[in-house]
Amino acid sequence: MKRTTTKLADGRELIYFDADDAADRESTDLRPLEPAASLSEIRRDPATGDWVTVAAHRQGRTYHPPADECPLCPSRDGRLSEIPAAEYQVAVFENRFPSLAVDAARHVTGHPHPLAAAGPGTGRCEVVCFTSDHDLSFAGLDEPGARLVLDAWTDRTAALAAMPEVEQVYCFENRGAEIGVTLAHPHGQIYALPFTTPRTARMIEQARRHRAATGRNLFEDLLAAERAEPGRLVLAGEHWTAFVPFAARWPYEVHLYPHRRVGDLTALTEDERAEFPAVYLELLRRFDRLFIEPGHNEQAAPTPYISAWHQAPSSAGGEELALHLELFTIRRTVGKLKFLAGVESGMDAFVNDVSPESAAQRLREVAS
């Protein structure tokens, strides 16, 4: 893999990742950009202990531009974008409208109330462009292309985790307008967070309790239990297993684990990396076949989904967490979405409209 680093016109970092060591991505951003400003702040909710990021400057971010004005396409034919090169394989750059930024500290002022714990929204937000092809999707990549994205995720995890202010690195993809995606180009994001996210903190606490009660790791036991339950298995390889969890929250939700417990992407072996693309691409393609109506070769719209890597934070107890990917859709059937209504949004108590066993069966039925 070749890694080429450059700067955009406003000083943000841009990194090209290429499978071919001979690739030439030397290019200059010719746009007249002013330095981007971040007003990010984190505030602790005194009732729950959760950190909330306040980033009011993001209200002006790019919103559903037409395809011929896409900021993630290469710069060509006289149109300048966030990617100065005329072509690329995978490109990663600092978000122009970040929720978190390394210079956030200088914008934050104190709060006098004793319960108003706050701090700068220090960290980094990056955009990961999976391909220069605007009309493709991750599922449309070939295995070498998916492997290159995995290598980019791994590279960025290592670099961002080394930043002193970063506690957790979160790689994810949102796909579909129904999810809230504002740019149609195939891409994901990486958040380098200055705190451990609430969901991760709850996982670590459950793992701590399991260790105290059994002397074993929660995630190793969980994977073994799911692998022993064929009713919820979706697919399994030599190094990875995908299953619908016993208490799935979303109509179609799949968790993908490496068989060997590791904390983050940097700890995967070459054999584990080599198998991942085929397994993950098969999962994504099955998701795109979930809602094809009988008698139709194609569905009306691609399946919206969120794909989220869970990686160990640097905080105490993080060593108990197991790297895994959680993939889920908010579509519950053809033409119907799973909205987070009062009990989910108000109380964080999920009600699933599809049984996990039925979801797993459907995901096996749509195998390639």
CATH classification of the domain holding 67: 3.30.428.10
Q: Residue 115 pLDDT more than 60?
A: yes
Q: Which helix (H) or strand (E) holds 331?
A: strand 331-333
Place of tokens 């998916």: 146
- pLDDT higher than threshold 70 for residue 282: yes
Same domain, yes or no, for 29 and 82? yes
Do the beta carbons of residue 299 and residue 288 sit within 8 Å?
A: yes
At residue 246, the 3 state secondary structure works out as coil
212 and 255 inside one domain: yes
Catalytic residue, from 187, 255, 310, 324: name it: 187
Model pLDDT, residue 42: 94
In this structure, the answer to whether residues 249 and 273 fall within a common structural domain is yes
Kindly report, residue by residue over 306-342, the tens digit of the pLDDT.
999 999 999 888 999 999 999 999 999 988 999 988 9
Same domain for 220 and 185: no
Whether 150 and 266 have beta carbons less than 8 Å apart is answered as no
Question: Could you tell me which residues come within 8 angstroms of residue 182 by beta carbon, excluding any fewer than 6 positions away?
Answer: 61, 62, 63, 64
Q: Which of 195, 223, 238 is the last residue of a domain?
A: 195
Is there a single domain that holds both residue 97 and residue 190?
A: yes
Amino acid 36: pLDDT: 75
What is the predicted pLDDT for the residue at 26? 85
The pLDDT confidence band at residue 109, using thresholds 50, 70 and 90, is: low
Residues 322 and 356 in one domain: yes
Are 163 and 220 found together in one domain?
Answer: no
Q: For the residues of 221-274, what is the DSSP string, one character each?
A: HHHHHHHT-TTTEEEE-SSEEEE--TT--SSEEEEEEESS--SSGGG--HHHHH
Name the token pair of 332. Answer: 């519950």
CB of 184 within 8 A of CB of 134?
A: yes
| 351 and 304 within one domain | yes
Percentage of residues of the chain with pLDDT beyond 70: 96
- Any catalytic annotation for residue 187? yes
The domain tally of the chain equals 2
Q: Name the token pair of 50.
A: 């959760």
Same domain, residue pair 45 and 163: yes
pTM score above 0.85: yes
Task: Report, as an integer, the average pLDDT of 174-197.
Answer: 95
Same domain, 151 and 226: no
| Structure token pair of residue 10 | 């406003």
> Where is the domain boundary, 145, 169, 195?
195
One domain, residues 30 and 157 = yes
Residue ending a domain, among 165, 195, 225, is 195
pLDDT of residue 7: 96
Predicted confidence (pLDDT) per residue in 119-139, tens digit: 889 999 999 999 999 999 999
Distance CA 317, CA 295 (A): 51
Q: What is the reported pLDDT for 290? A: 94
pLDDT of residue 295: 60
pLDDT (mean) for 66-94? 94
Quick one: average pLDDT of 81-91?
A: 97
Tell me, yes or no, whether 78 and 174 share the same domain.
yes
Beta bridge mates, 307? 173, 327
Residue 91 lies in domain: 2-195
Q: Using N-to-C axis directions, what is the helix angle for 270-289 and 143-161, rounded to 10°?
A: 120
Rounded to whole angstroms, how far apart are CA atoms 108 and 96?
A: 19
Label residue 254 by pLDDT band (50, 70, 90): very high
Report which DSSP code applies to 36.
P
pLDDT at 68: 86
